[in-house]
Amino acid sequence: MTAQILDGKATAAAIKSELSARVAALKERGVTPGLGTILVGEDPGSQKYVAGKHRDCAEVGIASIQRELPATATQEEIEAVVRELNEDPSCTGYIVQLPLPRGIDENRVLGLMDPAKDADGLHPTNLGRLVLNEPAPLPCTPNGIITLLRRHGVEINGAEVVVVGRGVTIGRPMPLLLTRRSENATVTQCHTGTRDLAAHLRRADIVVAAAGVPHLIKPEDVKPGAAVLDVGVSRDENGKIVGDVHPGVREVAGWISPNPGGVGPMTRALLLANVVEAAERAAGVADAG
Ligand SMILES: Nc1nc(=O)c2c([nH]1)NC[C@@H]1CN(c3ccc(C(=O)N[C@@H](CCC(=O)O)C(=O)O)cc3)C=[N+]21
C-alpha cells in the first residue's frame, strides 16, 4: 500500500481560482486588494519565496507592493517601511519576510504592524485573538495544513495529532487551530526536549512534521494509515529540498504531503486568502470570515 497524496499544488490552485472570483467582486465595488512584502537582505531562498507570492498575486488579480532593503538596513529603517505600509491605503495586507537579519528585533518590527493588515496572522494581537477564540487572520501554514486535510476528506475531529516542532510560524500556532471546537483534535506537541518521539508518533493519526530536521520521521515510527504532513524545508548539497519525512514513510502512511508540492503552495494560497478577507472586511462585505 502506498499513501494517497495530499496534493497541495492542486488544492492551492482551486483556492486561488475561488479567490479570483472574490477579487473580481471586490473590484466591481471599486476595491483592489494589495499585498505588500518587506524583504530585508539578499538571501536567495527568501527572494524566491517573495517572488512566488507576487506571482500568485498576479494570478488572482491582487496588486503587488514590493519593498526591499539591504542586509545592512537598521532597525529604524525597517520600522519606517512598516509605518509606510500601515498608512498606504493601496496596501490592504502585508508581510515582513522572516527571518530578519541578525541584530534586528523581529518581535518589535512585527508588533508595529497594523494588525488589520497582518497577512501572516503572526501579529501578537492576532495570535492573542486566536487564543481567545476571536476572529483574526490565521497563521498561513497551520491554516493551509488544516485546509489541505479537509479538502482530502481526512478526519480531524477526534484525531490524535502529533505536532513536531515549536517554531513561531507553525509549531506554536498549529495546536491552537487544531484544538478549536471546529477541529476538535487532541494534540501532543513534541520538540527537541521530547524524550521518546517515536512513542508519540506511533499513536498519531496525523503527524505534522515541522522540525526542520531532514528525514526525522522514520517509517517504523508511523502508524499504518496515518496522515503525514511534511513541512520541513532543509536543503542538500545540491540545493534540493529535503523534508522532515523519510521517503519510506510513503509505504506505511495512508496520506502524505509531498515536499515540494504539499504544504508550501498551501501557505501561499492561505496568505492570499487573508489579504482578500482583510480587503472584504475593510470594504464592508458581509461574511468576510
Ligand atoms: N513572514 C513570513 N511569512 C512566511 O510565510 C514565510 C516567511 N516569512 N519566511 C520563510 C517561510 C517559508 N515559506 C514558504 C512558502 C511557500 C513555499 C513553497 O511554495 N514552496 C514550494 C517549492 C519552492 C521551491 O522549490 O523552492 C513547494 O513546497 O512546492 C516555501 C516556503 C514561507 N515563509
Query: Is residue 286 over pLDDT 80?
Result: no
Q: How far apart are CA 72 and CA 75, in angstroms?
A: 10
Q: How far apart are CA 140 and CA 265, in angstroms?
A: 10
For the stretch 222-250, pLDDT in tens is 999 999 999 999 999 998 999 999 999 99
Roughly what angle, to the nearest 10 degrees, separates helices 44-60 and 263-282? 50
Query: Is residue 32 over pLDDT 90?
Result: yes
| Residue type for position 278 | A
Residue 32 near residue 26, CB atoms below 8 Å: yes
Residue 111 labeled ligand binder = no
Instruction: Report whether residue 267 contacts ligand 1, using a CB cutoff of 6 Å.
Output: yes
Residue 66 near residue 54, CB atoms below 8 Å: yes
- DSSP H helical segments within 196-262, as ranges? 197-201
Residue 125 near residue 170, CB atoms below 8 Å: no
Residue 101 Cα to ligand 1 midpoint, Å, equals 17
Selected catalytic residue, list 7, 16, 56, 97:
97
Instruction: List, in order of start, the domains of the chain with CATH numbers.
Output: 32-132 (3.40.50.10860), 140-264 (3.40.50.720)
Residue 31 labeled ligand binder = no
Give the residue, by CA position, lying nearest to ligand 1 atom 15.
264
ipTM (interface predicted TM): 0.95
Question: Is position 120 annotated as part of the catalytic site?
Answer: yes
pTM: 0.96
Residue 99 has a pLDDT of 93
Query: Is residue 87 over pLDDT 70?
Result: yes
Q: 8 to each of 190, 286, 289, how far by Cα in Å?
A: 24, 29, 22
Which is nearest to 271 in space by CA: 89, 20, 45, 35?
35
Q: How far apart are CA 182 and CA 174, in angstroms?
A: 14
For the stretch 10-29, pLDDT in tens is 999 999 999 999 999 999 99
Q: 141 to each of 87, 121, 198, 272, how far by Cα in Å?
A: 27, 10, 24, 12
Residue 15 has a pLDDT of 98
Instruction: Report whether residue 219 contacts ligand 1, using a CB cutoff of 6 Å.
Output: no
Residue 264 Cα to ligand 1 midpoint, Å, equals 5
